[in-house]
Amino acid sequence: MSQYSFMDVSGQKFKLVIVSALVALVIVVWFWPPLREGVAMLPMASASTGIHGAYTTNFPHPENPISEGGKWLNGQSDGLDWTNVRTTPGFAFGTELGGKRPEPEKYDDSAALLTGAWGPNQTVQATVHRVNKDDDTIYQEVELRLRSALAPHNSTGYEVMFRCSKSPKAYVQVARWDGILGAFMYLKQAEGSQYGVADGDVVKASMIGKVITVYINGVQVVQTSDYLFTGGNPGIGFYLDGTTGVNSQCGFSSFSATDK
């Protein structure tokens, strides 16, 4: 940075300093309003980039759909084309009809997303409560959601699903929901008894940047990546196909989410 000294300044040098100062003053006065307007036009940081913090629940109240004081959105109540999540004390599960239905109706998974502004780096975790028996003719899933959104006839984000079975046909899958009912794409699939869930298993998924990592009981089981959705909210979901009336046989007994 240049420094100026006014000591021992006289004659032509003094005049030069005065003229230079006047020219600088004119330039500042002339250009200051546009500069000031330019500063005002700088974008402010979006509230959605802030840190929400942690949310933990053991589903203490009976609710249909889950609300917990307005902290949840639901698939049917808010998305219309999907189904809600229901709770009894200590337990959350789906309300999907199930049975043998055609596409896309069969993909109206039960879904519930936390409200508020969440940062994009998210980690969700839940404890499985399961009493159903292994049956390869029935597809019953517990699901974790990342960077997701719900609006009428529109559901987007990332879904991590675990089959409620420990048979060799059990699986874990990661999918991206792209909007309308039935519009989704698989990003990762793995099959085998080690990928299904039993009662008491702890399932976990995180999305940091573009990378989605999935765990069962603290052990990483799959990893994939996707670039499309850079924001959204965490949540839970459930799926039933091949039978009816067994929604409460597999669900979650606790759930936590954080964006720290």
What are 94's two structure tokens? 């789906």
Q: Please state, in angstroms and as integers, the Cα–Cα distance from residue 104 to each residue in 180, 183, 186, following that order.
A: 10, 8, 15
CA atoms within 13 A on the CB side of 164: 29
150 and 113 Cβ atoms separated by less than 8 Å: yes
Rounded to an integer, the average pLDDT of 9-28 is 38
Which token pair is 32?
């200051």
pLDDT in tens, 150-207: 999 999 999 999 999 999 999 999 999 999 999 999 999 999 999 999 999 999 999 9
pLDDT at 32: 41
Average predicted confidence (pLDDT) for the chain: 86
> Tens digits of per-residue pLDDT, 100-133?
999 999 999 999 999 999 999 999 999 999 999 9
In this predicted structure, the answer to whether residue 73 has a pLDDT above a threshold of 80 is yes
Q: What is this structure's pTM?
A: 0.82
Is residue 62 a contact partner of residue 89, using CB atoms and an 8 Å limit?
A: yes
Q: What is the pLDDT of residue 49?
A: 55
What CA–CA distances, in Å, run from 35 to 21, 23, 40, 106?
20, 18, 9, 58
